Structure 1
């Protein structure tokens, strides 16, 4: 019986390689049911913790819930996959913890800037607000002792600042690790730029200016909307964080900067019919922050400018890094070139 030439066999192995064996576990036949059960358990636990402790506005606390959600969503994966998520994210969470703590030292005991921000907002909008800053004008027309639907919407929009950017990053980590890295580089640069500004230019928000006699009465009302549902403890963590946070870390507004950053990062990969909905998010955040007394409009505009600077600087740095790597000479090849020639009788080396 004739045997095929070993030369042809060797060529077939080289030119037509077989796909590598799959290393991930095979899909479980009941994976869909298992995911539904796991996500239901996660949702019940989240709501219970929300009502008992408060919404997850602390970075470390929010990370725990996001990590738990990824475990529930991919509950059929081995534990090493879930531990890899923690390995990649723990440095990020630690950086945000340090960021939050360092904001408390931004004022260095100096009197924060406030009057310049008031003058800027009056210059831009005084013609339409009777000479008042937009925060005072909005609260005069919308703030009432009873909670209205716009108060509820504002509270939810304000809370979204603490979870939207993190959740978007978690989804990217699961779906596209390369884009996750690009996202984190830009997000980290944006936060670092904001933190440096807090040290160089400590600025106070409208509610602080009102407490110190620079404005008429301004209420800090970013969390009052939850009371309409009887969820008086929903903002416990957030309220505690507001008390402990640095009141002079207002310029730029990273709340609106994060909102615009997330939208712009995904805008080019989103169908245009969804663009108005996406772009409405940073505008809703702007209304929320100005109405609730957390920021001036000038803080928002500077925050948006920081987002543009972030995409420009990081994008240029990435292009320069790519060009530098492309111009590097390739590593020297092995001078000894072993050629394997298969014959019918055996293998000879040259």
Structure 2
């Protein structure tokens, strides 16, 4: 009696045996986003310390001769349309882009999906711990810098007055999960695809970086801290090795980077 063999997956199709159960993954990812939102509330308070740390970060950046955030914002303020698009990008791209990234990996690259989900979970958990030890006011709240709260002045804004904002902790600027997640989206798509144009996905974290700095929601060091956390997670959680089937996939079956809309929180 011969053992029954399973049909091989067609080129370009994911291996169904590698794909985790949909309901379980939905609950895990939903839990990740919920922890992201609720976990920040646990670190609220420490306002005075957050402003002291903000002055320290601002001074450290000047000592390190990092580019002035004011110069980036000045470029956005040349036109009201541009700054409005930057605020819209900050408010609307962060979560949808990350969710679309995970959904695509789940459907097309299940093994890479598991890897990416684990990396995002580790980075998010680590990012939620830092505000307990280093609360930080964002540059838009720091007087004497010349920066403008572009979301409040030009809209749209995702934040209310800090004292009455019960949906987010505005004194948890470091690290920037806006940038950390955007960078992971680019890294994940570059690792999971073989298109020659896949490196264009780096435009997403680059635009995100300019947006979070130009809108005065984050310092350069917030993005550097997120990059360091992501780098450590990637060093520990290694991506799956490409299979023979993955290597044979033709580039035209792999989605090319779509144009980045200038218009995602932290």
CA distance in 2, matches of 1:108, 1:277: 40
CA distance in 1, matches of 2:64, 2:233: 25
Question: Structure 2: how far apart are the matches of 1:179 and 1:141?
Answer: 38
2:136 is equivalent to residue 203 of structure 1: yes
Aligned CA distance change for structure 1 residues 114 and 241 (closer, same or farther; 3 Å): closer
Which sections of structure 2, spanning at least 5 residues, go unmatched?
8-20, 241-266
Q: Matches of 2:71 and 2:192 in 1, distance apart? A: 38
Q: Shift of residue 176 of structure 1?
A: 3.6
C-alpha separation in 2, matches of 1:139 and 1:263 = 24
Q: How does 1:73-222 map to 2 (within 5 A)?
A: 85-109=22-46, 111-112=49-50, 113-125=53-65, 133-134=68-69, 136-143=70-77, 147-149=80-82, 151-153=84-86, 155-156=88-89, 158-209=91-142, 213-221=143-151
Instruction: Number of aligned residue pairs: give it.
Output: 222
Q: Taking structure 1 as reference, are residues 195 and 312 closer, same or farther at Cα in structure 2, changes over 3 Å only?
A: same
> Residues of 2 paired with 1:158 and 1:122: CA distance?
28
Instruction: Return the alpha-carbon distance in structure 2 between the equivalents of residues 158 and 302 of structure 1.
Output: 21
Larger radius of gyration: 1
Within-5 A mapping of 1:192-271: 192-209=125-142, 213-221=143-151, 224=154, 238-239=158-159, 243=165, 244-271=167-194
* Offset at residue 241 of structure 1 (A): 11
Q: How many Å separate the matches in 2 of 1:214 and 1:163? A: 35
Q: Which has the higher contact order (CA 8 A, sep 6+)?
A: 2
What's the TM-score once normalised by structure 1's chain length? 0.55
Which of 214, 226, 232 is the aligned partner of 1:291? 214
CA displacement, residues 208-242 of structure 1 (integer Å, 9 cap, x when unaligned): 21xxx3533422338947xxxxxxxxx58x45699
Structure 1 residues 180, 220: CA separation in 2 closer, same or farther (over 3 Å shift)? same
Q: If the length of structure 2 is used for normalisation, what is the TM-score?
A: 0.71
Q: Would you say the 8 A contact 2:90–2:208 is kept in 1?
A: yes
Q: What stretches of structure 1 of length at least 5 have no aligned partner?
A: 1-12, 22-83, 226-234, 319-350
> CA deviation digits over 1:297-350, x for unaligned, max 9?
11111111111111012239x9xxxxxxxxxxxxxxxxxxxxxxxxxxxxxxxx
Question: Following TM superposition, by how much is the alpha carbon of 1:198 offset from its aligned partner in structure 2, in angstroms?
Answer: 1.8
2:17 paired residue number:
none
Cα deviations by residue, 1:94-123 (Å, 9 ceiling, x for unpaired): 232133112122144352121121012223
